[in-house]
């Protein structure tokens, strides 16, 4: 299956989730859809979840997935399984009990911070990162217990190391590229990648142009990051995501209109470019052309993130 660990639509109740059918060109698969980040309140995320869940249920070719078995069943018939993720802990409203409630609504991945520090820890654009806070450690423990995967994307480096040290289940970088290939503050170091791999987790190489190179959302650029990640952490710990913004015009305006969330590293090379699903589904052929084996291709395109889900989604008694 083709497993996209992070994609985005406009965070309004009227967003058209029919766009997710664009993945079907690659056969059956899974997509994790964002339902909130740093500016969002618990009430808005709850409203988005109600709307998005209803849409997925009503749209032919999409189906909500509560378990890995659901994903296997949906993908086997050529459709797209859908669950959700959060970027930042703000949509929890400071309530650790919200984790379990969000899991019940299909939120399976959460990054504690989005670019800048909050009550959980530091962000990747902060000049100083003091690491995971006490509340952040409690958050990770609750995620581990409830079946939600901790995510280091957008998180500060020291905070990601703490995240890996305290988590008792796999940690992922859902959508982060390799800084050794392209220098960008949103990309991760080899040591960060190794820390996630040591938890049994996965680094999800993503298709955003400014994270791949100088705004180059090509398969060739993505394969360069994949090759390096595999060299650093091994084939079992690398996956993929598009981080595609189906609302890309709105998000470009958000980048320029909210400088408190983004810095010049998001605009230095002109308007951000994304790899669309129609390009992403051709990644299998690009990897095979580089001499990758069918087994390795299958692991990176879906098998590795599926393994993390199988090891993490079941709540602990």
Asked if the model's pLDDT at residue 25 lies above 90, the reply is no
The CATH superfamily assigned to 2-312 is Metal-dependent hydrolases (3.20.20.140)
Q: What is the DSSP letter of 301?
A: I
163/191 Cα distance (integer angstroms): 14
CA neighbor of 206 nearest in space, from 251, 170, 245, 236? 245
- Domain-by-domain residue ranges, the chain? 2-312
126/317 Cα distance (integer angstroms): 37
For the entire predicted model, the pTM comes to 0.97
What confidence score (pLDDT) does residue 175 get? Answer: 98
Say if residues 47 and 15 touch (Cβ distance below 8 Å).
no
Coil/strand/helix, residue 36: coil
Instruction: Report how far Cα 33 is from the mean position of its chain's Cα atoms.
Output: 8
Coil/strand/helix, residue 279: helix
Report pLDDT digits (tens) over 167-190: 999 999 999 999 999 999 999 999
Say if residues 160 and 152 touch (Cβ distance below 8 Å).
yes
Q: What is the DSSP letter of 12?
A: S
Please provide the distance, in angstroms rounded to a whole number, between the alpha carbons at the two ends of the chain.
Answer: 30
Report pLDDT digits (tens) over 50-71: 999 999 999 999 999 999 999 9
- Residues 86-110 have a mean pLDDT of 98
The structure tokens 């209109």 sit at 257
Say if residues 176 and 187 touch (Cβ distance below 8 Å).
yes
- Residues 269-297 have a mean pLDDT of 97
User: Within 10 Å of residue 133's Cβ, how many Cβ atoms?
Assistant: 18
120/113 Cα distance (integer angstroms): 7
Q: In the structure encoding, which two tokens stand for residue 313, read together?
A: 């989604």
Summary mean pLDDT of the chain: 97
CA neighbor of 290 nearest in space, from 238, 236, 222? 222
R_g of the chain computed on alpha carbons:
17
CA neighbor of 171 nearest in space, from 184, 188, 153? 153
307/317 Cα distance (integer angstroms): 20
Beta bridge partners of 32: 83
């Amino acid at each position: 299956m083709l497993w996209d660990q992070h994609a985005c639509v406009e965070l309004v109740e009227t967003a058209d989730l029919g766009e997710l059918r664009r993945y079907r060109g690659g056969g059956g698969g899974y997509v994790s859809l964002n339902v909130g980040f740093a500016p969002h309140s618990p009430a808005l995320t709850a409203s988005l979840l109600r709307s998005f869940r209803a849409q997925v249920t009503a749209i032919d070719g999409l189906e909500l997935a509560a378990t890995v078995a659901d994903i296997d069943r949906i993908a086997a018939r050529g459709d797209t399984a859908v669950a959700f993720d959060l970027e930042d802990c703000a949509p929890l409203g400071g309530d650790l009990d919200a984790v379990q409630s969000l899991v019940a609504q299909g939120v399976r991945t959460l990054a504690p911070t989005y670019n800048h520090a909050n009550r959980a820890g530091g962000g990747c654009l902060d000049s100083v990162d003091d690491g995971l806070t006490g509340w952040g450690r409690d958050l990770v423990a609750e995620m581990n217990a409830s079946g939600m995967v901790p995510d280091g994307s957008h998180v500060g480096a020291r905070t990601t190391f703490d995240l890996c040290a305290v988590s008792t289940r796999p940690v992922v970088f859902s959508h982060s590229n390799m800084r050794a290939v392209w220098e960008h503050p949103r990309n991760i170091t080899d040591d960060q990648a190794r820390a996630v791999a040591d938890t049994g987790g996965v680094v999800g190489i993503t298709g955003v142009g400014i994270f791949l190179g100088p705004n180059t959302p090509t398969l060739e650029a993505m394969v360069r990051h994949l090759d390096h990640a595999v060299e650093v952490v091994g084939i079992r710990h690398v996956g993929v995501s598009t981080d595609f913004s189906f609302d890309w015009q709105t998000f470009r305006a958000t980048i320029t209109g909210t400088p408190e969330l983004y810095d010049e590293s998001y605009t230095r090379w002109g308007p951000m470019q994304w790899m669309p699903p129609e390009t992403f589904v051709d990644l299998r052929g690009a990897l095979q052309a580089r001499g990758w084996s069918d087994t390795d291709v299958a692991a990176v395109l879906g098998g590795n993130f599926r393994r993390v889900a199988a090891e993490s989604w079941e709540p602990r008694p």
